[in-house]
Amino acid sequence: MLSTRALGLAPTLKQAAFSPARNHVLRNVIRSSITKRSIQTQSLKPEDGTTILNKQRLQRPSSPHFTIYEPQLTWVGSIFNRITGVGLSFLLYGFSLAYLVAPGTFDSTHVIEFVGGLPDAVKYAGKFILALPFTFHSFNGIRHLLWDSGKFLTVKGAYSSGYAVLGATAISTIVLMFQ
């Protein structure tokens, strides 16, 4: 009987069955083994259900999604727009807070002097690193505003405007690099 094994009653019952027992001995044995179980129980509050479920969910595997999505102009352009925006904003915030904290080291004369003293290759690289995000974010921002007014809202439109943005970014970055 599976239930008696699970409840831990099997050894007791076996013992009782093999001993030369009379009815009341068997009854007493069963009664005492029923009141004293050899299994442990644990009382849980209702909130523990959510906690245990969340712990289990953290350990469950998930299929690859972001790692297998083919890079396309649509979403790569979108995340690059965010990355460039956040990067430029970090620069703006960083410089303004640095000027607020230490106006002596970050005022215009020192900054211009420092940049002027850098080698030419570093200057060109620096201009490229600053011009590319700025131009891409500006042109892609215009593309977003055009989308908001209802234009280019097809797949062809998204791709053609995307290539236009890439072209404009490349041209304006090169123009700005040699200013």
Partner 1 sequence: AIYKGTVNDPTTFPPPSKTHGSYHWAFERLLSAALVPMTVTAFATSGTNYPLFDGILGLSLIIHSHIGFDSSIVDYLHPRKFPVIGPIIRWTLRAATVGTMVGVYQFNTNDIGLTELIAKVWTA
Judge contact between 165 and 140, C-beta under 8 A. yes
How far apart are alpha carbons 33 and 31 in whole angstroms?
Answer: 6
Beta carbon nearer to partner 1, 42 or 56: 56
Judge contact between 77 and 162, C-beta under 8 A. yes
# binding residues, partner 1 (CB under 8 A): 33
CB of 130 to partner 1, least distance (A): 9
Is residue 129 within the footprint of partner 1 (CB under 8 A)? Answer: no
Residue 91 CB: number of other CB atoms within 10 A?
13
CA 135 to each of CA 120, 130, 156: distance values in angstroms, whole numbers, following the listed order: 22, 9, 23
Is residue 105 within the footprint of partner 1 (CB under 8 A)? Answer: no
| Contacting range for partner 1; rule: CB under 8 A; set: 2-10, 21-29, 62-70, 138-146 | 138-146
Tokens 């027992």, located at residue: 21
Residues that bind partner 1 (CB under 8 A): 49-50, 53, 82, 85-86, 88-89, 92-93, 95-100, 103, 107-108, 111-112, 115-116, 123, 127, 138, 141-142, 144-145, 148, 176, 179
